[in-house]
């Protein structure tokens, strides 16, 4: 049993949350052990809200798109004015209902052709006469929990303990007058990175590394001006922007939503990051770009520059995160310490993680 294996790996003293001035970073084994990865996948990722897409992708009835949520294929579809989410898995023998995004009146399984209505009920199953005690009503598509915030669609495989609106409470008010619900989807970019998902999250949560890893970004943001605010389920790194030709003047809000979502809000722009674990030392990071204007030629030019710059910064982060993973896997490291001025965000994330581990492990004990 994973939970038994994990209690051998995680000691009680490692779960205690001390003030940042006294705290140690989480041990390297949490980034490197298979049992920890499985434990997080089953307990943390399945029960937290994950961004899967945007209502902008579902303009008319029958529009649908797909998402792979930690190995679980799901389909999000518009049925009249309603949005629905299901496993993209046929109830006959597990075939797929779709291979890629599209529009349809009925969902037809690609394996033997069973069809389902857009509300998930089984419509027809060809050449199936003579089957005894077959109750069609029991063969609807299995639904997936989802909810919508400012146009973003979030899904969860199990019932999350906290409502999404509660998780994100205060963000809308904090960024006023910015209204991200008006932004339009522009592009999705995916990065496969050879590091544990927590290495990427830790790295996101501090500006300490800016002067060393991101010479270009340091010209736009000044790590000295970073303010980190922490809330129950998220943290915010806030910084005024220096005069620059990528983002324009204004303010940058970098929200981290525990455990693995980032909302990067800059003037006229929202970029979401979803950090998904692929294995103990591999992650998939999905960037979705949204802008206030995605059509005018001037804006598109600015957007393309923004995306190129974002890729440059991301490549720098990938390089350092992959090196850090190697460092954590080596015999040369176990635990470190935090800078109270620079690493409040990392400390806050790791404290939330410890509380989560404690809660689940107490439950199993
Ligand atoms: S698996 Fe879908 S019709 Fe057979
Ligand atoms: Fe970085």
Domains and CATH numbers, the chain: 2-46+177-364 (3.90.380.10), 50-149 (2.102.10.10)
Ligand found nearest the CA of 205: 2
Residue 3 has a pLDDT of 63
Q: Is the pLDDT at 285 greater than 70, yes or no?
A: yes
Residues in the chain, how many? 365
Helices of type H across 25-152: 29-32, 34-40
In the numeric block, the tokens 């960024």 are attached to 175
Q: What percent of the chain has pLDDT over 70?
A: 98
CA 222 vs CA 28, 226, 240, 347, 364: distances in Å: 30, 7, 8, 21, 45
Name the band, by pLDDT with cuts 50, 70 and 90, for residue 363. confident
For residue 203, the CA-to-ligand 1 centroid distance in Å is: 44
Q: Which pLDDT tens digit goes with each residue over 188-213? A: 999 999 999 999 999 999 999 999 99
- Residue 224 clears pLDDT 80, i.e. is over it: no
Reported as a single tens digit per residue, the pLDDT across 247-275 is 777 789 999 999 999 999 998 999 999 99
Ligand 1 atom with minimal separation from the 113 CA: 3
Tokens standing for 359?
């809660």
157 CA → ligand 1 middle, Å: 22
For ligand 1, say whether the CB of 98 is within 6 Å of any of its atoms.
no
Q: How far is the CA of 46 from the centre of ligand 1 (A)?
A: 26
Residue 28, pLDDT above cutoff 70: yes
Residue 223 has pLDDT above 70, yes or no: no
- Which pLDDT does position 4 carry in this prediction? 64
Element (H, E) at 166: helix 164-167
In this predicted structure, what is the pLDDT of residue 2?
Answer: 60
Q: Is 139 in the pocket of ligand 1 (CB under 6 A)?
A: no
């Amino acid at each position: 049993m994973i939970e038994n294996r994990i209690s051998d790996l995680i000691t009680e003293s490692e779960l205690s949350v001390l003030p940042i001035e006294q705290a140690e970073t989480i041990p390297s084994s949490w980034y490197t052990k298979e049992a920890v990865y499985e434990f997080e996948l089953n307990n943390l990722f399945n029960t937290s809200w994950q961004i899967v897409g945007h209502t902008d992708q579902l303009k008319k009835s029958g529009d649908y798109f797909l998402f792979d949520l930690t190995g679980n294929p799901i389909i999000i579809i518009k049925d009249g004015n309603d949005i629905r989410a299901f496993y993209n898995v046929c109830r006959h023998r597990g075939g797929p209902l779709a291979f890629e995004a599209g529009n349809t009146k009925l969902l037809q399984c690609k394996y033997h052709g069973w069809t389902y209505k857009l509300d998930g009920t089984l419509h027809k199953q060809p050449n199936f006469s003579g089957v005894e005690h077959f109750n069609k009503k029991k063969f609807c598509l299995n639904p997936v929990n989802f909810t919508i915030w400012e146009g973003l669609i979030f899904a969860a495989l199990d019932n999350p303990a906290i409502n999404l609106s509660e998780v994100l409470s205060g963000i809308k008010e904090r960024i006023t007058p910015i209204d991200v619900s008006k932004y339009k989807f522009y592009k999705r970019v995916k990065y496969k990175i050879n590091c544990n998902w927590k290495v990427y999250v830790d790295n996101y949560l501090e500006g300490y590394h800016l002067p060393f890893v991101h010479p270009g970004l340091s010209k736009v943001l000044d790590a000295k001006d970073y303010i980190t605010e922490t809330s129950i389920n998220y943290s915010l790194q806030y910084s005024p922007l220096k005069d620059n030709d990528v983002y324009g003047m204004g303010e940058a809000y970098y929200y981290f939503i525990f455990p693995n979502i980032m909302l990067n809000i800059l003037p006229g722009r929202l970029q979401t990051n979803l950090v998904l674990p692929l294995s103990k030392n591999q992650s998939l990071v999905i960037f979705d770009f949204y802008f206030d204007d995605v059509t005018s030629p001037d804006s598109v030019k600015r957007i393309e520059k923004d995306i190129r710059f974002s890729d440059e910064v991301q490549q720098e982060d990938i390089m350092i995160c992959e090196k850090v993973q190697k460092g954590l896997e080596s015999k040369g490291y176990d635990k470190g310490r935090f800078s109270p001025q620079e690493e409040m965000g990392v400390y806050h994330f790791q404290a939330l993680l410890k509380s989560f581990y404690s809660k689940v492990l107490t439950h199993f004990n």
